Each structure stands twice: as C-alpha cells, then as structure tokens.
Amino acid sequence: MKHLQTFRLIEAVARAGSMRRAAEDMNITASALNRRVRRFEEEFGSELFERLPGGVRLNPAGELLLHHYRATLSDLARVQGQVADLTGERRGHVSLACSQALLPYFLPEQIAAYRAEHPRVTFGVNVRDRAEAEQELASYASDLALVFEPIYLVDFEVIQIVPQTVHAVMAANHPLAQKPELRLRDCLNTPHIAPPSRYGVRHLLDFAARKGSRQFSPVIESESFEMIRHYVLHEQMIGFQIPIGLRDPGDGSLAFRPIAARDIPAGNLILGQRRGRSLPVASARFALRVAAALKAQYGPEIV
C-alpha cells in the first residue's frame, strides 16, 4: 500500500538506527529519506527520532507512531482478507509463532489440511521460545502463538488451552521403558538430556525437582527437541517432550512414558492472539481449526 510508504521508511530508519543505512536498505538516497522523515515530523507535529552523533534512535513519540503503523497495517490486512472473502478468492496469509514441539506432527498436519481447502493461503511459521512468542504477538509480527507454558500473559488472549503431561523419551531398550509410568526420581537418577530453562518443559522439570529438594542436572542441554529425540537412541539416556510432539516412529526404536502427575503437574499448551486484536480472516479461521483439533486430540474431557 503506497500511502504507507513513509511509515515503512520510518520503520526502516528505526530498525537500522541510521538514516544512511536505512536509505540503502530501502533503495533510495539518504537525502530523499531524510527529507521525507523531516516533512512527516513537521506534519505530525513532533520529532520521531533523537538525533545523536552517530545515528538516530526512536523517541517515545516515534514509538507510539510506529505502534500505530503496525496496528494500521494489521487492520488493513484484515480488511483485505475480508474483501477477498466476499469476492470469493479466499487468499490470505497466516503467521504464527510456536514452540518446537508443534513442528514434527501437529502443525504440518493442520497446515496441510487447511491448505487443502484453501490453497491460496500462505503460512509463516516462526519457532520461538515462550517469551519471544508473546513479543511476536505484541509487535504484530505474528497473528497467532501456540506455546507451551507461556509466561507473562499480559496482552495475550487465550483462544484454546489444553493440558500436556511431560513425557520421558528413551530408547525402547532402556530399563525404564518397562514401567508404564515414571516417577520424577526415576528421571533424576538416570542421565538425562533436556532443553534450557527458557523452555516450558524444562521449567516444569526444574520446578518439580526443587519442590522435592532435588536438582535437575542434565548431562546434555540442547535447544533442539529433535536433537534430544534422536540422541536418546545413541546413548542410554532419557529426554523430555510433551505428547503433541511425540509419535511412535513405527520401528519400535523409541519409547515414551508419562511422568506421574503427582510429581509434575500437567503444563498448558496455549493457542492465543494479541488481546483485543481482530485477526485477518485466514488467521481467524485457521485458529478455529487448530483450537478444535487441540480440543479433540488433547482436550481435558473425552468426547
């Protein structure tokens, strides 16, 4: 949308921290960029940047304006979605931030099913930890977030919430695979591999261990759940994951067992959006679908 060009430039300047660099990014000269910014500031009635030796930085007024721009952009996208809807085109774009556990099975299935119905809808999937995901929503960088055990929950509007019991993941021949359910002490007494503490699963493990005056000390710490899942096949070790990220590979190599709820309470997997925002049509419908799928597969009550 051409009429927002000035805003795009302002955002670029804010991001680059320098007019000349931003000018290069946007493929115009620094003088043209500078004049546009100055002219807008004059019209707007207030400067948007602090001019420092060495560059510029947004001032509070600039922050507010940029926020307005993002909100406008998001609303415009919603309108365009609605218009596409009534011309029957059904195009659109869905962007979401999610935890890693959703990547192997759940999201691919959901997205594929949705795209089978609406082939012209495109997707952007960003993997984020729990804190980042909420940041994404706040800045309108993502329409939806699907995260395990989010932290802040301000400006975060819950669409669907399902419980997820932490499971231990191990090779099928691991001794603990004999038991139908593991106790926390089983896990702590055997070598384990886990993600860093900014992830929800680890957070629950740490918390539970502290409660039992024990300490959770993984031999290997990795951000990648895929790495964890594969590593337990190479060394007698247990990893951790939530059910939505687990499925039997079919070759009998992997086993996973729930950890007793009295040791580690079930965590929450939450689908949410920015509070008070009205989503583009495509995102809203996708959210409905995902919410229904979550409820059907993992909902607290059996239907």
Partner DNA sequence: CGACCCGTTGCAAAAAATGACACACCCATT
Partner DNA sequence: AATGGGTGTGTCATTTTTTGCAACGGGTCG
8 forms part of the interface with its own copies (CB under 8 A):
no
Asked if residue 172 binds its own copies (CB under 8 A), the reply is no
CB of 20 to DNA, least distance (A): 4
DSSP string, 44-82: HTS--EEEETTEEEE-HHHHHHHHHHHHHHHHHHHHHHH
We find the least distance from the C-beta atom of residue 13 to its own copies, in angstroms, to be 16
Residue 31 makes CB contacts below 8 A (sequence gap 6+) with none
Minimum CB distance to DNA, residue 23 (Å): 7
Q: Which residue is associated with the tokens 């930085």? A: 57
Q: Which is nearer to its own copies, 7 or 231 (CB)?
A: 7
On whether the CB atoms of residues 166 and 261 are closer than 8 A, the answer is: no
Which of 4, 8, 25, 36 touches DNA by CB under 7 A? 36
How far apart are alpha carbons 246 and 240 in whole angstroms? 10
Place of tokens 């082939």: 119
Tell me the closest approach of the beta carbon of residue 87 to DNA, in angstroms.
17
d(CA 77, CA 122): 13
Which of 12, 14, 19, 284 is close enough to bind DNA by CB under 7 A?
A: 19
Number of neighbours of residue 49 by Cβ within 10 angstroms: 20
67 binds its own copies (CB under 8 A): yes
In the numeric block, the tokens 């993941």 are attached to 169
Among DNA, its own copies, none, residue 222 binds (CB under 5-8 Å by kind): none
> Of the two residues 27 and 178, which places its CB atom closer to DNA in the complex?
27
Task: Confirm or reject binding of residue 211 to DNA (CB under 7 A).
Answer: no
Radius of gyration of the chain (CA): 24
Q: How many C-beta atoms surround the C-beta of residue 53 within 10 A?
A: 4
Q: Does 75 bind its own copies (CB under 8 A)?
A: yes
208 touches 187 (CB < 8 A): no
54 binds DNA per the rule CB under 7 A: yes
Closer to DNA by Cβ: residue 8 or 118: 8
Cα 262 to Cα 38: distance, rounded to the nearest angstrom: 62
Q: Could you tell which of its own copies, DNA, none binds residue 18, using a CB distance below 5 to 8 A set by kind? A: DNA
How many residues interact with its own copies (rule CB under 8 A)? 29
Closest CA to 242 of 166, 156, 161: 166
Query: Which CB atom, from 82 or from 190, has the smaller least distance to its own copies?
Result: 82
**Would you say 97 and 133 are in contact if contact means Cβ atoms under 8 Å apart?**
yes
Q: Which residues in this chain contact DNA in the complex, by CB under 7 A?
A: 2, 18-21, 27-32, 34-39, 51, 53-56
Q: Which residues in this chain contact its own copies in the complex, by CB under 8 A?
A: 1-7, 43-46, 60-61, 64-65, 67-68, 71-72, 75-76, 79-80, 82-84, 86-87, 276
